[in-house]
Structure 1
Amino acid sequence: MKRYDIAIIGGGLVGASLALALQAEAKARGWSVLMVEPFAPGDSYQPSYDARSSALAHGTRLIYERLGVWGAISQHSAPIERIHVSDRGRFGATRLSASEEGVPALGYVVENAWLGQCLWRALDREVVTWRCPAQVEGLTAVPGGYQLRLDDDSVAQCGLAVLADGGRSNLREQLGVAVNHRAYDQTALIANVSFSDGHGGQAFERFTQEGPLALLPLPEQRCALVWTRKPADASRLLALPDRDFMAHLQAAFGYRLGALRQVGSRSAYPLALVAATEQVRPHLVVLGNAAHSLHPVAGQGFNLSLRDVQALAQALCTSPAAPGEFSTLQAYQSSQQRDQWLTVGFSDQLTRLFGGAGQWLAAGRGLGLVALDLLPAARHAFARQAMGLGSRPGLSLP
């Protein structure tokens, strides 16, 4: 039976980022690292109009620069130079700009397929052993670590098991890791769209009585749409012909980018705040969406997970103990507690503030947006949080 120092269960964006963050130290200290992923990444990047994407905050760029992969990632990214935040039918609005914050861009939007290719290509196969396509079907605590049972009935052991297998982690449930679940009674409609005038590097967060609507710039002048609606309304919109769907979207967003010209395939998923009650045990870490899944309104979920990755890698690489030592994992969790608390709270409060339709709440939103627009210090603090810098003093501006 093969034994590894670290087993990363899930080789998606979070798991692959952790493998990359660990591989230099693993090579220096002779650690063996296993990464198990059920979906093969493929040998080449195939651009698609309908490709799903992620919004990467400026702080995330700084992390990937340190890992040596930002140059590759940026080849197929769209910078967010300005963000326009408004409340439809109300007087309040605010604008954030990269030039005001002194950064090249407030964030970047990258197709997940390209980001994955950049991460996988940077992994050293002599340090990180891949099992792909493969899936861990069972995880059992044993003295000094965990035993993994894979779907081909092979078995391996590890000193540290990292669960990075997504928000619907079966292994998390197998291990009895409870989660706090708060449903928002909202569904996110996801699609890529194109407007006649192009996006010009702008992102929009528009709050309506039916729910928030976000448009993020993508390469080739496409926009990534995240439109939050009540579940029944989302189902109705999902079933509409393209022409009718675009008419509803145009009415909700307006003509700031001109007329809608194209909409790609649409998908929908229910929204909830999900947080694991335990993120570390002896020889175990729960990471990524398996640890916390946030509302997409503020675009904070993946960026928080990547900061978790950085903090975990730093804790493991600076500890003299072998991976899996409980005190090391507790130190990691302690170092990230404030960041997680502030980021989850920021996302949840935005959702509650801008998801309600009451008259007084709407008036408060308008006043808040006006205050942000008129008070540079408040706008700067809001921008830093959005850029993934507000709760991490170690991630500073260049």
Structure 2
Amino acid sequence: MNEYDLVIVGGGLVGGSLACALAETGLRLCVVEAVPPRSEAQPSYDERVIALSWGSRRIFEDIGLWETIVAGAEPIRQVHVSDRGRFGFTRLDHREEGVAALGYVAPARRLGQAIQDGLAGVEMLCPARLLGVRVQRERVALEVTVGTTSRLLETRLLVAADGGDSSVRRRLGLAVREHGYGHDALITTVTPERPRPGVAFERFTETGPLALLPMTEGRYSVVWTVREGEAAGLLNLSDREFLAGLQGRFGYRLGKFTRPGRRLTYPLRLMLAREPVGRRLVLVGNAAHTLHPVAGQGFNLGLRDVAALAEVLVQAAHAGDDPGGGRTLDAYRRLRGWDQTAVVAAIDALARIFVNPWLPVRWARGLGLLGLGLSPGLRHLVARHFMGLAGGSQPWFARGLPSRTGRSNNT
């Protein structure tokens, strides 16, 4: 039997970040990951990217991973928000917030590499598969297979970071609130004729949001929301036909689009675990909440889960408390409850409001964007939410305070 203070099931971007944050705390830690590590070749033109908020930058700085990540990231200094065919628009600007950037667009490959480097001293079972889990009063018992070998693990706290289809959540029969939006997201990459480095665009159309995120080398990552049933047709278009359709939705603010990358689609849904914290159990990231991509908050919300959980576990270790005990988990609930609930509700509302075709709603959207553009106070509030710095009690990672893990924060 292998005994641990903490077992993380899922060693991807969220679970791996948590393990990196706790690697030097003295906690007995193990990561169970199903996917074998890959040595990535040179990045492709259409590599997957993730929008990181300013708050996420602070968290990665404190963990010690930001220097590697930022080398391949493009800053977001302005966000231009508009409603297609309506008069309202607004801009968020980093200068109004007194920061170097509102956020960053980073390749998922580079995030993964930085995390893999940070896991050098962490025990990992990989590739491994979870066979069973049993929550007891003082421990959680797990059975995993590593290759052809079965292993039994015991831990004082189990963290499920294994994605939206969490095996841990399913095996324990944990209830979720879930609904589809009747839309799919199409992801691709384009190069515009007149790129605007550092400027991101969120354009609301009759089929849903269309986001263009700046990448390095003048490229833009495209996240195009379309109705269910339309995605297959867009995948089957020629490059020329696809670019014409995208141009019609976005316009010519960046000139002509060229060099479309691979097109991928996935269905959009909301999933929220009804009890993300249980006896000796915490769900984090997509295992706890899966969001619509409007405003790009999904991964950032999960990273704030990581920061809050790291904080309470470090405090518990310093105080000699049980990492999976009631006092530790109650502290995590207090840090995360408001943020998780508020962000999920706000994103769900945005996803519904900005696809509503009813004329009064469309006029109200335009007036709302116009009012936002004319009100510095409202813009500041929206920018704070976009940057991951608004509301609730925030962990010291996200506040840029001196780290309690022994690392320094350079924000």
Question: TM-score range with shorter-chain normalisation?
Answer: over 0.9
Per-residue Cα deviation, 1:310-346 (whole angstroms, up to 9, x for no partner): 1111111112312211331122012211111221122
State the distance in 2 between where 1:221 and 1:275 align. Answer: 36
Q: Give 1:392 shift.
A: 4.8
Are residue 253 (structure 1) and residue 247 (structure 2) matched?
no
- Partner amino acid, structure 2, of 1:231: E
| Structure-2 separation of matches of 1:337 and 1:21 | 21
Would you say the 8 A contact 1:162–1:286 is kept in 2?
yes
2:221 aligned residue: 224
Identity of aligned residues (%): 46
What's the CA shift string for 1:201-226, capped at 9, x where partnerless? Answer: 11000011121100101122211111
- Distance (Å, rounded) in 2 between the aligned partners of 1:143 and 1:96: 49
**Superposition map of 1:156-175 within 5 A:** 156-175=153-172
SS in structure 2 of the partner of residue 24 of structure 1: coil
Asked whether the equivalents of residues 85 and 95 of structure 1 are also in contact (C-alpha less than 8 Å), the reply is yes
Give the superposition deviation at 1:118: 0.5
Aligned equivalent of 2:306, options 296, 299, 309: 309
Match of 1:72 in 2: 68
Q: Which residue of 1 is the match for residue 260 of structure 2?
A: 263
Residue 238 of structure 1: aligned partner: 235
Q: Which amino acid aligns with 1:310?
A: A
**Structure 1 counterpart of 2:325:** 325
Change (3 A) 1:179 1:358: same
Aligned positions of 1:3-152 closer than 5 A: 3-25=3-25, 27=26, 31-43=27-39, 46-125=42-121, 128-151=122-145, 152=148
SS in 2 for 1:245: helix
Structure 2 distance, partners of 1:97, 1:242, is 33
2:182 equivalent to 1:185 = yes
- Within the candidate set 171, 176, 181, 2:173 is matched to 176
Deviations 1:243-264 (A, max 9, x none): 1111100111111111111111
- Residues in 1 aligned to 2:393 and 2:366: alpha-carbon distance in whole angstroms: 30
Q: Secondary structure of the residue that 2:195 maps to in structure 1?
A: coil
Question: Cα 1:36–1:46, aligned 2, differ >3 Å: closer, same or farther?
Answer: farther
- In 2, are the aligned partners of 1:77 and 1:110 still within 8 Å (CA)? yes
Amino acid at match of 2:286: N
Q: Give distance in 2, aligned partners of 1:177 and 1:206.
A: 37
State the number of aligned residues. 392
SS at match of 1:76: coil
* CA distance in 2: counterparts of 1:159 and 1:379, whole angstroms: 44
Question: What is the CA-CA distance between 1:36 and the residue it aligns to?
Answer: 1.2
Opposite residue 387 of structure 2, the aligned amino acid is: M
AA aligned to 1:267 is L
In structure 2, the partner of 1:356 is 356
Change (3 A) 1:137 1:52: farther
Which residue of structure 2 aligns with residue 215 of structure 1? Answer: 212
Q: In 2, Cα distance between the equivalents of 1:175 and 1:88?
A: 45
Please report the TM-score for the alignment, with normalisation by the length of structure 2. 0.92
| CA shift in 2, pair 1:396/1:332, >3 Å | closer
8 Å contact 1:45–1:114 — kept in the other structure?
Answer: no
Whether 2:399 is the aligned partner of 1:387: answer no
SS across alignment from 1:154: strand
**Per-residue deviation, residues 178-219 of structure 1 (Å, max 9, x unmatched):** 100021111111111111212321100001112110010112
**1:10, 1:37 within 8 Å by CA — same for their partners in 2?**
yes
Q: Deviations over 1:72-120 (max 9, x none)?
A: 1100001011110000111000011111211111100111111011112
The worse-fitting range, judged by mean Cα deviation, of 43-52 and 332-341 is 43-52
Stretch of structure 1 that moved more, 11-20 or 62-71: 62-71
Aligned 1:332-371 pairs, distance under 5 A: 332-371=332-371
Residue pair 1:23, 1:124 contacting (<8 A) in 2 also? no
Q: CA deviation at 1:393?
A: 5.9
Give RMSD over aligned pairs.
1.5
State the Cα deviation string for residues 46-65 of structure 1 (Å, max 9, x = none). 31212111100001111111
Instruction: Please say if residues 208 and 351 of structure 2, whose CA atoms lie closer than 8 Å, have aligned partners that are also in contact.
Output: no
User: Which residue type is aligned with residue 114 of structure 1?
Assistant: R
Work out the CA distance in 1 between the residues paired with 2:177 and 2:263. Answer: 29
Unaligned regions of 5+ residues in structure 1, if any? none
Distance in 1 between residues matched to 2:226 and 2:110, nearest whole Å? 29
Stretch deviating more after TM superposition (274-283 or 144-153) = 144-153
Structure 1 contact 45–117 (Cα < 8 Å) conserved:
no
Please list every run of 5 or more consecutive structure 2 residues that lacks an aligned counterpart in the other structure: 401-410
Q: How much has 1:40 moved relative to structure 2?
A: 2.5
